[in-house]
């Protein structure tokens, strides 16, 4: 069974939230926006513990408003049991409801159905002892059940009976005199405490579980000298690696039929291991599993699979309440955007993904974690703008601003349409290339149409607007023109110094960074750059009743010490 719809009401930071996950659902967003609450809601409904009020406190209700019941619901895709949805409704007072709806009719949720939809949940604490347990809600438990089912299905009946005899012999050998004394004393002590009852106790001595032949297996960690060690006594990094090794094994050996939810899979992993684990998630999804995870790492998202991304934010709703929301963009929605920009040009979802894959880099993935994006043509602006912003007292990293290099003017519209489709404020910077090549002017025409400036000439005038900036010819020309007004020959002087310091083959980006560092050290900041930084500061904001600019999507992640 796979979840194709999630509906959550009145749970923690969530007032009303509905979204449609795919085989992989990557929840991204700033700290404290509600990513963990979404995974916790799924675990509350489908995890090991039965969903009931016993697991809740008043603080688990949205705004601690216990007059509105918590409601958590999942819709399910086509499955053998014809189950269409499962839900629970938990009022603070009154009768809780946990139900299941079939293609025809509905009924109360049972443990049997929850077993079939069991959610394997790894929270950020990575409790190794729990996940090496044998319940249906742990990955190891699912593995040993598949091993047991495989043995019972394929081993001849005679071999299975012979195995039982061997285990019984092993039990007889292990029942030493000391063990028998312990067992007899334990039984006497128990019965002596309960003289008026018919209860008794037996010590079941089994080296195996007849209900699951593989239940007694456990991994052992071998140190460099071969000494066995209990994995639970190892460091947190090693414990995490053991858990992730189980995922890798499950993906390669067993049929992937689990629904898995993981908080921050990147914890304790270096970048190469993160990328390897992200590839493993793809394998699991292809084999039939469904993966939910929250992440702060660009290695676990990519713009080729933009429809896997759920951008989690805290937004103010129509009633003025601050609550968690999820933004998603489907392939159909983005394709329609692209087709409106390029009417008459044949396009397909497959081609759309291929184009994004070709321009995809880690910086383009990490932009999904930004509050604002400054989208630029190349490395000149990428290297220089953050230095000037820092000098103006606006640290891009501190304020969640990403400068994204499109690596060419031709890629600007693709990235702009993708990021803005997710509602991320984007400030676009590009050159007018006055007197330049025909293909550059054709790109100008597309960008102007995208910005609703179709009436403007394809060689537009230089302008710094609230949401975009068009530079005269290019960034270097703008810099040179401005510096000539400050100190004649300043630009040429800095260019020569850059080449002497960095070498004749230094790229435009390195030269731009060198100049920016030198100029800010001398308190020289070009006017057009100051205007761009000011516009970026105001991007995505609107004036409140007092005339002050406020974020349209506030995030309450500030910590105050009193």
Query: What CATH number is attached to the domain comprising 103?
Result: 3.40.50.300
> How far is the C-alpha of 83 from the C-alpha of 102, rounded, in Å?
4
Q: Is residue 81 part of a domain?
A: yes
Domain check: are 396 and 292 in the same one?
A: no
Tell me the three state secondary structure of residue 101.
Answer: strand
Domain check: are 449 and 397 in the same one?
A: yes
**Residue-wise over 36-54: b if at least 16 C-beta within 10 A, else e?**
bbbbbbbbbbbbbeebebe
Tokens read off for 438? 């025909």
Q: Is residue 192 part of a domain?
A: no
Residue finishing a domain among 315, 344, 368: 315
Contact 260, 289 (CB under 8 A): yes
Domain check: are 506 and 543 in the same one?
A: yes
Question: What does the pLDDT read at residue 260?
Answer: 87
Question: What does the pLDDT read at residue 71?
Answer: 98
Q: Is residue 161 part of a domain?
A: no
Q: Is residue 221 part of a domain?
A: no
Contact 459, 444 (CB under 8 A): yes
Domain check: are 456 and 493 in the same one?
A: yes
Contact 468, 427 (CB under 8 A): yes
Domain check: are 496 and 347 in the same one?
A: no
Residue finishing a domain among 355, 371, 403: 355
Q: Is residue 187 part of a domain?
A: no
Q: How many structural domains does the chain have?
A: 3
Question: What does the pLDDT read at residue 551?
Answer: 56
Domain check: are 274 and 335 in the same one?
A: no
- E-strand spans in 254-371? 259-263, 290-295, 309-316, 322-327
Domain check: are 401 and 495 in the same one?
A: yes
Domain check: are 370 and 511 in the same one?
A: yes
Domain that holds residue 11: 3-132+251-315
Domain check: are 351 and 365 in the same one?
A: no
Q: Where are the alpha helices (DSSP H) in 422-543?
A: 438-450, 475-486, 490-502, 508-521, 527-538
* Phi/psi of residue 544, nearest 5 degrees: -85, -170
Q: Which of 79, 4, 17, 6 is nearest to 45 (CA)?
A: 6
Domain check: are 389 and 300 in the same one?
A: no
Question: What does the pLDDT read at residue 559?
Answer: 32
Question: What does the pLDDT read at residue 137?
Answer: 65
Question: What does the pLDDT read at residue 556?
Answer: 40
Low-confidence residues in the chain, pLDDT < 70: 126-127, 131, 134, 136-137, 139, 190-218, 220, 222-224, 226, 236-237, 247-257, 542-562
> How far is the C-alpha of 187 from the C-alpha of 95, rounded, in Å?
42
Domain check: are 8 and 114 in the same one?
A: yes
Q: Is residue 348 part of a domain?
A: yes
* Phi/psi of residue 25, nearest 5 degrees: -130, 110
Q: Is residue 189 part of a domain?
A: no
β-strand 290-295 against 24-28: which pairing, if any? parallel
- E-strand spans in 367-423? 372-376, 401-405
Q: Is residue 244 part of a domain?
A: no
Domain check: are 381 and 281 in the same one?
A: no
**Residue-wise over 359-393: b if at least 16 C-beta within 10 A, else e?**
bbeeebbbbbbbbbbbbbbbbbbbbbbbbbbbbee
């Amino acid at each position: 069974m796979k979840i194709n719809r999630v509906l959550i009401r009145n749970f923690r930071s969530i007032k009303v939230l509905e979204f449609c996950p795919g085989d992989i659902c990557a929840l991204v967003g700033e700290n404290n926006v509600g990513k963990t609450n979404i995974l916790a809601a799924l675990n509350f409904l489908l995890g090991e513990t039965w969903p009931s009020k016993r697991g809740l406190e008043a603080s688990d209700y949205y705004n601690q408003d216990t007059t509105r019941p918590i409601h958590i619901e999942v819709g399910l895709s086509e499955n053998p049991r014809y189950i269409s949805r499962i839900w629970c409704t938990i009022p603070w007072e009154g009768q809780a409801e946990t139900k299941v709806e079939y293609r025809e009719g509905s009924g109360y949720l049972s443990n049997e159905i929850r077993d079939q939809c069991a959610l394997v949940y790894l929270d950020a604490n990575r409790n190794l002892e729990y996940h090496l347990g044998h319940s249906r809600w742990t990955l190891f438990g699912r593995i040993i059940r598949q091993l047991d089912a495989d043995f019972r299905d394929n081993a001849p009946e005679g071999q299975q009976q012979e195995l039982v005899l061997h285990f019984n012999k092993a039990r007889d050998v292990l029942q030493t005199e000391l063990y028998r004394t312990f067992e007899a004393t334990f039984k006497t002590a128990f019965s002596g405490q309960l003289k008026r009852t018919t209860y008794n106790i037996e010590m079941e001595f089994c080296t195996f579980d007849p209900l699951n032949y593989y239940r007694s297996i456990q991994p052992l960690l071998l140190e460099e000298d071969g000494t066995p060690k209990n994995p639970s006594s190892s460091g947190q990094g090693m414990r995490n690696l053991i858990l992730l090794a189980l995922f890798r094994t499950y993906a390669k050996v067993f049929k992937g039929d689990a629904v898995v939810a993981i908080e921050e899979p990147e914890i304790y992993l270096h970048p190469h291991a993160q990328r390897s684990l992200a590839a493993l998630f793809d394998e699991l999804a292809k084999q039939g599993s469904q993966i939910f995870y929250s992440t702060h790492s660009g290695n676990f998202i990519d713009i080729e699979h933009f429809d896997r991304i759920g951008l989690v934010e805290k937004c103010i709703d129509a009633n003025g309440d601050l609550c968690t929301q999820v933004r998603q963009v489907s392939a159909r929605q983005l394709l329609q955007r692209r087709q409106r920009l390029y009417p008459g040009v044949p396009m397909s979802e497959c081609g759309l993904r291929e184009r994004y894959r070709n321009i995809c880099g880690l910086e383009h993935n990490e932009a999904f974690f930004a509050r604002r994006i400054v989208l630029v043509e190349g490395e000149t602006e990428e290297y220089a703008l953050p230095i000037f912003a820092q000098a103006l007292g606006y640290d891009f990293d501190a304020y969640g601003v990403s400068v994204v290099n499109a690596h060419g003017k031709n890629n600007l519209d693709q990235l702009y349409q993708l990021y803005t489709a997710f509602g991320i404020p984007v400030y676009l910077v590009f050159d007018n290339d006055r007197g330049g090549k025909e293909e550059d002017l054709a790109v100008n025409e597309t960008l102007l149409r995208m910005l609703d400036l179709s009436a403007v000439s394809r060689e537009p005038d230089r302008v710094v607007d609230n949401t975009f900036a068009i530079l005269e010819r290019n960034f270097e020309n703008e810099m040179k023109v401005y510096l000539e007004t400050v100190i004649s020959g300043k630009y040429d002087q800095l260019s020569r110094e850059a080449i002497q310091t960095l070498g004749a083959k230094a790229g435009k980006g390195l030269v731009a960074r060198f100049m920016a560092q030198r100029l800010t050290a001398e308190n020289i900041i070009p006017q057009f750059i100051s205007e761009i930084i000011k516009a970026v500061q105001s991007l995505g904001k609107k004036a409140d009743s007092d005339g002050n600019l406020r974020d349209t999507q506030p995030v309450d992640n500030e910590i105050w010490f009193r």
